[in-house]
């Protein structure tokens, strides 16, 4: 008995010591021992538990073991709404924001809290009695996705809060990927032929939306807390935002250290400028600086407008610009056959990375800019991410510049190029007329795996699979086996296993995602969702006539024609049949919360806190439809401030009218 007591005591001491060392390493960035010492403690603990397995549960809190892959993410309703922030793009706009809030509470003495706006994925963590029980994405602010198992893979997220702890606390923060990890991941993906991530934000979001937590674990994400949304069972409730930060640190969360309190707007400006000069040196991507009224009482009084609080604003730094020279303008052939001009530059450093090319979108853009090969141009990264040409410096022209002419033959297959109307009927685009064009096939494959979210397979892997004769189209992916890949040069057993598991996990998809993956011209995500919600099954969509498509709201004649033409081709029908035969299945829509099924809503006016698109999304997620006009078939009219003629129409027809509060109550 005494020996058992000694063993339990030693195990507990080791667990406590290892937890403390992890906290120092991941939270305070102040490791007190070397890695060798830490490893030796872990080895001792593992050795004791191997000898005495009855006590293995004592180390559960130290282990972040990846759970089984999920079929899909479940929905989570936030107890308190996850808000977005309004943006300010100049110092003048910051001053205007301060003036607005001072008019609402004129006699108040304000303090302002400034902190970095990290560039990642906003998430919410829920703790009950000190234990992490659930984590979710922002979603539409009201309903997010349950990504608990993936969040457990982030080492800087505490699985437990040290005592004393509140009975319930909801912590908001940003899941991010460091620039160093992002660069390493992209190099690895490029080497393995997988897709690379355009920026750290996309990498973090993509990593957390993996159905297999093991893939999230490999990505080495970090988490920075920035707010406490709710707290129960806690005596000293914070009175300011800065006090929230202090409490979060007590609970063991990592917070960014670039934060400061100011008394006036004039004090904030030098800080904005200082961060602007230094932010490229930071280990994590940032997309601005958040400035908030520090007092929580004032925050409550200032309230929320639309989906953003009045009491806070995000200052966005101007896009960094640079000049370079256009060395060439080439053409890319997309999955639908559209020809997209691409400008190539002398490699130039912009916003922390080297830019050597940028899309010019279409001939309208080329003519608007009057861009030519040999021109000196100004480039920037839109949102610090996507390179774009913003200006041509014509004064530097020498007379040797060359105008771009859209080719009459496809640069890949040599087929003729024709001009067609775009999806909006107001634009034109140039298309390769060969449905079997190699470039169309290759990009169509990549579009398919992206739509199915099979991120383990990038362009180079697809090229390799085609070269080896393992696939002729996307349907062949679903009958691949590990042995098909593991024998290929540069394909290890682990890589082959990961690819096959990723394919298996993503065999089940909702109808709208299946439609997107088919790559039907003019059918994007929103149109696909409209079709899926209206028809419910693939067979109904495939057997619908053009005039029936055309009669649907949000489906114009161009899209109706495109849909009809796609399903009239035997090779497309055969491809769909092959997908089903090879194991792809279309999941049935979630009917748990379809209380608006069969209902039609009309929206008019400005809602007090909801954006119109958010309200529309909430209706559609619950099986309802949103119409642009009132009729006898309308179920409800949702009315905000300054409603239009639809409000009068509703009263004439006798349709029930809801304000925002009544609408939220029936959700």
**Catalytic-residue membership of 117:** yes
How far, CA to CA in Å, does 259 sit from each of 108, 242, 291? 22, 9, 10
* Distance separating alpha carbons of residues 138 and 124, to the nearest angstrom: 7
**Beta bridge partner(s), residue 305:** 308
Beta strands at 402-403 and 143-145: parallel, antiparallel or unpaired: unpaired
389 torsion bin: left (phi>0), alpha (psi -120 to 50), beta (else): beta
Q: Which residues of 243-253 are buried (b: 16+ CB within 10 A; e: fewer)?
A: ebbebbeebbb
Report the candidate in 185, 62, 173 with the shortest Cα–Cα distance to residue 117: 173
Helix, strand or coil, per DSSP, at residue 388: strand
DSSP conformation class of 338: B
Going 185 to 189 to 190 to 194, the CA torsion angle's sign is: negative
DSSP for 9-64, written as a single string: HHHHHHHHHHHHHHHHHHTSS---S-HHHHHHHHHHHHHHHHH-GGGGGGGGGG--
* Distance separating alpha carbons of residues 397 and 489, to the nearest angstrom: 50
* Distance separating alpha carbons of residues 458 and 499, to the nearest angstrom: 10
Torsions phi, psi for 406 (to 5 deg): -65, 130
CB 465 within 8 A of CB 357: no
Element (H, E) at 376: strand 376-382
* Distance separating alpha carbons of residues 234 and 514, to the nearest angstrom: 48
DSSP for 113-179, written as a single string: EEEEEESSEEEEEEEETTEEEEEEE-TTSSEEEB-HHHHTT-TTS-SB-PSS--SEEEEEEEEE-BH
How far, CA to CA in Å, does 449 sit from each of 19, 29, 499, 659? 40, 39, 12, 42
Report the candidate in 168, 481, 449, 237 with the shortest Cα–Cα distance to residue 335: 449
Helix, strand or coil, per DSSP, at residue 281: helix
* Distance separating alpha carbons of residues 322 and 344, to the nearest angstrom: 14
**2-26 and 35-51 helices, crossing angle to 10°:** 150
Tokens (6 digits) for 179: 């620039």
Q: Which of 117, 155, 244, 307 is catalytic?
A: 117
**Beta bridge partner(s), residue 636:** 601
Report the candidate in 557, 514, 560 with the shortest Cα–Cα distance to residue 538: 514
* Distance separating alpha carbons of residues 91 and 114, to the nearest angstrom: 14
The CA-CA-CA angle for residues 61, 63, 64, to 5°, reads: 105
Matching residue, tokens 């305070």: 28
Alpha carbon 337 to chain centroid distance? 27
Residues identified as active-site: 117
């Amino acid at each position: 008995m005494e020996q058992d007591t000694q063993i339990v005591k030693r195990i507990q001491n080791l667990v406590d010591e290892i937890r403390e060392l992890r906290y120092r390493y991941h939270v305070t960035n102040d490791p007190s021992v070397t890695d060798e010492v830490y490893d030796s403690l872990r080895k001792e603990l593992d050795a004791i538990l191997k000898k005495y397995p009855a006590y293995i549960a004592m180390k559960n809190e130290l282990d972040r073991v990846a759970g089984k892959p999920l079929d899909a993410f479940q929905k989570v309703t936030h107890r308190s709404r996850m808000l977005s922030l309004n943006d300010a793009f100049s110092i003048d706009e910051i001053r205007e924001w301060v003036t607005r809030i001072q008019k609402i509470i004129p006699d108040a003495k304000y303090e302002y809290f400034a902190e970095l706006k990290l560039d990642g994925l906003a998430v919410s963590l829920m703790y009950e009695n000190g234990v992490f029980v659930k984590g979710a994405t922002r979603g539409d602010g009201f309903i997010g996705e349950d990504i608990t198992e993936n969040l457990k893979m982030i080492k800087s997220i505490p699985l437990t809060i040290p005592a004393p702890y509140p009975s319930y606390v909801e912590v908001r923060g940003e899941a991010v990927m460091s620039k160093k990890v992002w660069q390493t991941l992209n190099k690895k993906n490029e080497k393995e032929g997988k897709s690379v991530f355009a920026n750290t934000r996309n990498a973090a979001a993509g990593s957390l939306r993996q159905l297999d937590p093991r893939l999230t674990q490999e990505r080495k994400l970090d988490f920075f807390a920035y707010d406490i949304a709710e707290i129960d069972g806690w005596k000293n409730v914070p009175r300011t935002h800065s006090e929230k930060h202090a409490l979060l640190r007590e609970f063991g969360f990592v917070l960014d250290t670039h934060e400061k309190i100011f008394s006036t707007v004039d004090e904030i400006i030098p800080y904005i400028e200082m961060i602007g000069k230094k932010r490229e040196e930071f280990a994590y991507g940032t997309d601005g600086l958040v400035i908030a009224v520090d007092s929580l009482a004032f925050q409550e009084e200032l309230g929320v407008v639309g989906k953003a609080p009045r009491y806070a604003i995000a200052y966005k730094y101007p896009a960094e610009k640079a000049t370079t020279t256009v060395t060439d303008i080439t053409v890319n052939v997309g999955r639908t056959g559209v020809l997209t001009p691409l400008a190539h530059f002398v490699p130039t450093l912009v916003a922390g990375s080297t830019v050597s090319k940028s899309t010019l979108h279409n001939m309208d853009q080329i003519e608007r800019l009057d861009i030519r090969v040999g021109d000196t141009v100004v480039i920037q990264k839109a949102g610090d991410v996507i390179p774009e040409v913003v200006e041509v410096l014509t004064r530097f022209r020498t007379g040797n510049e060359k105008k771009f002419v859209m080719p009459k033959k496809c640069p890949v297959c040599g087929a003729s190029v024709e001009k067609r109307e775009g999806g909006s009927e107001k634009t034109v685009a140039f298309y390769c007329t060969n449905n079997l064009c190699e470039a169309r096939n290759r990009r169509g494959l990549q579009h398919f795996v992206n739509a199915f979210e099979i991120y383990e397979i990038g362009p180079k892997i697809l090229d390799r699979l085609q070269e080896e004769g393992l696939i002729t189209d996307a349907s062949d992916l679903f009958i691949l086996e590990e042995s098909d890949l593991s024998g290929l040069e540069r394909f290890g057993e682990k890589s082959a296993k990961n690819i096959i598991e990723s394919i298996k996990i993503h065999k089940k998809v909702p109808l709208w995602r299946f439609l997107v993956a088919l790559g039907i011209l003019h059918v994007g995500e929103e149109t696909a969702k409209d079709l899926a919600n209206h028809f419910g099954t693939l067979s109904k969509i495939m057997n619908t006539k053009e005039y029936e498509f055309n009669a649907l709201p949000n489906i114009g004649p161009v899209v109706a024609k495109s849909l009809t033409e796609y399903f009239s081709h035997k090779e497309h029908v055969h491809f769909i049949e092959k997908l089903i035969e090879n194991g792809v299945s279309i999941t049935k829509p979630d009917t748990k919360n379809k209380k608006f099924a069969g209902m039609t809503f009309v929206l008019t006016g400005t809602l007090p806190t909801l954006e119109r698109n958010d309200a529309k999304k909430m209706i559609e997620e619950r099986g309802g439809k949103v119409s642009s006009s009132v009729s006898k078939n309308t179920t409800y009219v949702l009315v905000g401030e300054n409603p239009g003629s639809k409000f009068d129409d509703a009263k004439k027809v006798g349709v029930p009218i809801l304000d925002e509060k009544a609408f939220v109550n029936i959700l």
